[in-house]
Amino acid sequence: MFPASLVKTISDAATKAGIEAACLLALVEVETSGSPFEKDGRTPTLLYERHIAWRQAAKVSRACQAAFARLGLAIPKWSKATQYKDQGTSAGRLAVIAKARGVNEEVANQSASWGLGQTMGFLYAELGFNSASEMVDHLAGNVAAQLDCLIGELNNKHLVAALNAHEWATVARGYNGAGYAANRYDARLAGAWKRWVRKTASTAPPHAPDDLSADEITDLQRKLRRLGYASVGNPDGKFGTKTVGALAQFQAHEGLPVSGRLDAATREALKTAEPIEAPRERKHATAGDLGAAGSKTIRAADRGSLFAWLKGIVGTVLVGGGAADKTGWLDQAQDAIDKANQAKGVWQSFLDLVHPLFAGPASILIGVVLIGAAVGAWFLFDRIKGYRVADHNSGVHAGPSKGE
């Protein structure tokens, strides 16, 4: 939620630039959810773009490009799978930009988007700066400067008229790029604008009585979950504290009077509301992040994967042993010891010793079963972790990861 002081600052800047305040607020919401700085309180909110670094580094030299690529900081094309893999948290983003600056500070600053409007560093010249580094220094700790760059980019791209006319697709294409539809940038912009119109309106709609049946409450709970308000809990047809809290959260987000009641205005807003965007830290969290945060699901799956791995080892030993000659195992054991004394690997010596002990078709069969069970269990637990991470990224689990 935007602090009141930031809403006023953005609204004042919009009015001065001849932009509808709700439009500029909507653009800022879609870009950064109103977070101007990283956790250090000074660095402008950033997102490092590896495919941009590939292009910008090449302008310096092939050696520079190779240096970025060698550290995993530059890739030829945009890739959803790897683009932001280590930028799910503020600490991660700060670490990435510090690493990139260690190769070439100017290229690093050109290759990230900065501030409330996520202004790309390579736009520095058209915004009146001598370098991207100068631009980033100007934006650091300075909300007004970030808004100036945002508005400057809108003017340079001739998007102010389209923004005021609510031509969301035009604004999305010009500001976010040709692939805007893939992340529904225009729809999210339109939804944010509607909410800011309500939030900045001087009059509030009247309330209507809450005379809801169990089925209506269940439908409401399901709708809230689909919109990303998972704190409503499981749909149970009871209008309890979780439902009241989730409904109040929806009202606050949509710019409605916060009452926790299903009044007439809230009913109307629910019909056209867009799902909320999960915070950046949630969207890019990994299984490792959730495990470190105390997720019981992830930790249980990790233990299950370890157990499956151990079963696979036992199965491999049984199969290997079953394939060995069953006769003369004591001699083979002595040979194995001799080989170990001759500096043969410890692991191979161990296999030489145990193979004869587990010889036989039954051992091979048991080993094959164990290996198959191990592989199946490993894939199952990996799938469980994948589902858990996907739920967290999408906002299905709205609370902290502990206990989930």
Q: Which of 164, 199, 234 is the endpoint of a domain?
A: 199
**With bands split at pLDDT 50, 70 and 90, how would you rate the model's confidence at 98?**
very high
Question: Average per-residue pLDDT in the chain?
Answer: 83
- Please check the confidence at residue 153 and state whether its pLDDT lies above 50: yes
Place of tokens 């070439």: 104
Q: Are residues 29 and 150 in the same domain?
A: yes
DSSP state of 277: P
Domain count for the chain, please give it.
3
Report yes or no: 316 and 366 within 8 Å, Cβ to Cβ: no
Q: Is residue 331 included in any domain, yes or no?
A: yes
Query: Could you give the percent of the chain with pLDDT greater than 70?
Result: 79
pLDDT surpasses 80 at 198: yes
Please compute the mean of the pLDDT values over residues 366-387 and round it to a whole number: 78
Give the separation between CA 22 and CA 368, rounded to whole angstroms. Answer: 65
What average pLDDT does range 289-313 have in this prediction? 76
> Average of pLDDT values for 378-386?
80
pLDDT at position 285: 72
Residue 404 lies in a domain: no
Domain's final residue, options 175, 199, 223:
199
Identify the residue with better confidence: 316 or 249: 249
pLDDT at 399 over 50: no
Residues 27 and 139 reside in one and the same domain: yes
Label residue 234 by pLDDT band (50, 70, 90). confident
Question: Could you give the CA distance from residue 186 to residue 163 in angstroms, rounded to a whole number?
Answer: 11
Confirm whether 250 is domain-assigned: yes
Q: Is residue 141 part of a domain?
A: yes
Worst-scoring range by mean pLDDT, 32-36, 139-143, 201-205, 295-299?
201-205
**Are 347 and 239 members of one domain?**
no
The boundaries of the domain holding residue 298 are: 287-394
Same domain, 40 and 144: yes
Is residue 388 a contact partner of residue 291, using CB atoms and an 8 Å limit?
no
Kindly state whether residues 301 and 161 are assigned to the same domain. Answer: no
Structure confidence by residue, pLDDT tens digits, 251-267: 989 999 888 888 889 99
376 pLDDT band (50/70/90 cuts)? Answer: confident
